[in-house]
Amino acid sequence: MIIEQAEVVVTSPGRNFVTLRLTTDDGLVGLGDATLNGRELAVVSYLRDHVVPLLIGRDPHRIEDTWQFLYRSAYWRRGPVTMAAIAAVDVALWDLKAQAAGMPLYQLLGGASRTGLLAYGHASGRDLPELFDSIRDHLEQGYRAIRVQTGVPGLNAVYGVAANQRADDTAGARYDYEPASRGAFPQEEDWDTRAYLRHLPGVFEAVRGEFGPELPLLHDGHHRMTPIQAAKLGKALEPYDLFWLEDCTPAENQQGLRLVRQHTTTPLAIGEIFNTVYDYQTLVTEQLIDYVRSAVTHTGGITHLRKILDFAAQYQIKSGMHGPTDISPVGMAAALHLGLAIHNFGIQEYMKHGTRTDEVFRQTFTWTDGLLHPGDQPGLGVTLDVDEAGKYPYERAYLPYNRLTDGTVHDW
Ligand code: KDG
Ligand code: MG
């Protein structure tokens, strides 16, 4: 078998997605997700201009060799653009290998280690009544674990609080949360860490009061605190028994997590913007985190993320793969196969795509009683309807950025 054709498909059925589509001389089609929210076209160019020409004629079975070739032969290593491009190739190759074997991909990764994957959804509200409604709605949808994001008095737009109508679904239905906005310039949001720190513990106290002690609750700090502020928040949230506190600091300063860890037993999750195992070395070997947030899509694919997760497993650290709507259905499917196979699965983020996206990407995963399963079709179990994809051309979109009340640019 050889790779005969490699195409990069860009489509925007509600939001932008970049997909690598490999076709073999046997007529098999393998898919890989290369979506990098707000910087999509950089990955398109990396793939189209530099990688696609190297793939034609290659043996698709040589996954590890192809990975090492793309990583090492570029000379310029790592970074989100490179690693998203390599991830797309890697996942498309795994998809092809599993189809050629006539097996769902998780079987090639060692077989199922569980019957389904615990998933969490995104509840949010500008105030408590809105937040409680959103949590009830998620419980009715079957979620058994819920991320809680809330408005902060005095701030106009806060990360994770659903602000938009669902762009591509039933009129009036609430869009869970899509931070990127279409247009020529990123939207500006405002931020005040002290106001947030004063407000958040009371919100979790109220949520526990309303929904009881058992429901696993998560929260995303979205990189906005210094280590000492994160330590203070983790400590203040201890009575509410969080499943995790995510991205409490911009964690490229891995050593900063030592300070956080010294002060709190609130479990910590980090890594959605990381792209290689090297971003985790201190965090893992010093056991400064509890969950690895990396997505297959942004971390060099299944081949590299599996290595990170095996490394983490030696330190009792589990997976908590990133799964917002900017991970395409192809990227989600890859996460589900990997999550089903590994021993140290923790939880999977699951936001659900809109109906138009689901028409472009036909999927076979299941969602039953709060548990996801990738399904038993050979390969990833996702097909791309190229005609449907062609109806939705790329639209320029940016993630927002933050300014503090005095105008200083802050982490978003
Ligand atoms: O593109 C950015 C989003 O993927 C990110 O803001 C979502 O933090 C996020 C999460 O935890 O889902
Ligand atoms: Mg996050």
Is the pTM for the entire model greater than 0.85?
yes
Which atom number of ligand 1 is nearest to the Cα of residue 220?
11
Q: What is the mean pLDDT of residues 305-309?
A: 98
Ligand 1 pocket: which residues have CB below 6 Å?
37, 179, 220, 222, 272, 322, 324, 326, 349, 399
Q: Catalytic site residue 143?
A: no
Q: Which ligand is nearest to the CA of 411?
A: 1
Q: Of these residues, 106, 120, 143, 159, which one is catalytic?
A: 159
* Parallel/antiparallel/unpaired status of strands 268-270 and 291-292: parallel
Q: How far is the CA of 164 from the centre of ligand 1 (A)?
A: 16
Say how many Å lie between the CA of residue 366 and the centre of ligand 2: 24
pLDDT of residue 177: 64
Residue 165: φ, ψ to 5°: -75, 155
Closest-lying ligand 1 atom to the alpha carbon of residue 147: 11
Of the candidates 347, 285, 299, the residue with the CA atom closest to the CA atom of residue 146: 347
Backbone angles phi, psi at 6, to 5 degrees: -135, 120
Ligand nearest to the CA of 351: 1
Contact 300, 74 (CB under 8 A): no
Average of pLDDT values for 211-215?
Answer: 98
pLDDT tens figures, 139-170: 999 999 999 999 999 999 899 998 654 444 44
pLDDT score, position 163: 67
Cα torsion 222, 226, 228, 233 to 10°: value is -20
Q: Which of 15, 326, 398 to mutate to test the pocket of ligand 1 (most atoms within 8 A of CB)?
A: 326
Cα(first)–Cα(last) distance of the chain, in Å? 45
Q: How far is the CA of 246 from the centre of ligand 2 (A)?
A: 6
Residue 171 pLDDT exceeds 50: no
Where residue 273 falls among pLDDT bands split at 50, 70, 90? Answer: very high
Atom of ligand 1 nearest to the CA of 159: 6
Average pLDDT over residues 191-195: 97
CA distance linking residue 89 with residue 42, whole number of Å: 16
Asked if 34 and 86 touch (Cβ cutoff 8 Å), the reply is no
- CA 220 to centroid of ligand 1, rounded, Å: 9
Catalytic site residue from 122, 138, 219, 222? 222
* Cα-to-centroid distance, 181 and ligand 2 (Å): 17
- Please indicate whether residue 159 is annotated as part of the active site: yes
Q: What average pLDDT does the chain have?
A: 95
Q: Which residue's CA is the nearest one to ligand 1's atom 7?
A: 324
